[in-house]
Amino acid sequence: ALGTNIARTERDAAERALLTAAQEVARATAQVDQAQAQLDNHLLRAPMAGTVLALTVEPGQTIDTSTVLMTIANLDQLIVETNVDEAYAMQIKAGQSAILQLSGEANTHPGKVSFVSQQVDADTGGLAVELSFESPIHAPVGLTVSTNIVVDERQDAITAPRTAIDRDAVFVVTDGIASRRPVSVIDWPAARLIVTDGLEPGDVLVLDAAAVTDGQAVRVLVP
């Protein structure tokens, strides 16, 4: 009987120890879960994959829901933002081809008009337009990009530098004399304009119309 009582006592003690250990495990698990929840509450998840461009807060700084913590961007999908004068707004459409040139580069990149705003800025008269590169490029955000949007294509068109056109005329050089000749052009915000009337292939123009007068003697420089 004595041996049976001792065995029962040891068994009861072992069960109590097991129960205590199980309770401690449960408490530890709860503490881990609580710590993980607190950690999750302090973990910031970006809405997109990208590169941090700017960090605007410091460790320990107090923030709220309106605080901007950082600026991130997806550098694999760069977008060119520009504005087109409202005079040409009706000619710009999504999907049009474009020629893009990064500042400091001689070569150009093919692109597309990816977005055209439906509202002209009343203060600036500009229409917001976004363009995308047809192939991924690597360039810093904020870099200046020269853009040319292809709104029409004409075969065998005669073009002239914008600087050669004085309102509605150009200066054509014949036998060393600059003569003013009326022309019709399609005005467009570009370095060269299409001349629809007044010029023939082979005509020699004064490149800077503001530098000469009608009948002035000039010398043609051959590059």
Instruction: Sketch the domain layout of the chain as residue ranges.
Output: 1-43, 79-149, 158-217
Q: Would you give the distance in Å from CA 36 to the centre of its chain?
A: 39
The CATH code belonging to domain 158-217 is 2.40.420.20
- H or E element: which one contains 71? strand 70-73
DSSP 202-214: T--B-S-GGG--T
pLDDT 10s digits, 119-176: 999 999 999 999 999 998 989 999 999 999 998 888 889 999 999 999 899 999 999 9
Strands 70-73 and 109-120: unpaired
Output the pLDDT for position 7: 67
Domain 79-149 shares a fold with domain 158-217: no
Output the pLDDT for position 105: 93
Output the pLDDT for position 24: 84
- H or E element: which one contains 21? helix 2-41
pLDDT 10s digits, 70-129: 888 888 889 999 999 998 899 999 999 999 999 999 999 999 999 999 999 999 999 999
CATH topology of domain 79-149: Elongation Factor Tu (Ef-tu); domain 3 (2.40.30)
Please, which residues have CB within 8 angstroms of residue 51's CB and are 6 or more apart in sequence? Answer: 72, 73, 74, 75
Can you give the pTM of this predicted structure? 0.59
Residue 219 has pLDDT above 60, yes or no: yes
CA torsion through residues 73, 103, 132, 80, sign = positive
Q: How confident is the model at residue 223 (pLDDT cuts 50, 70, 90)?
A: low
130-to-108, 116, 172, 205, 206 alpha-carbon distances in Å: 17, 7, 39, 36, 36
Q: Hey, what's the torsion of the CAs at 81, 82, 83, 89, to 10 degrees?
A: -80
Q: How confident is the model at residue 6 (pLDDT cuts 50, 70, 90)?
A: low
Output the pLDDT for position 5: 61
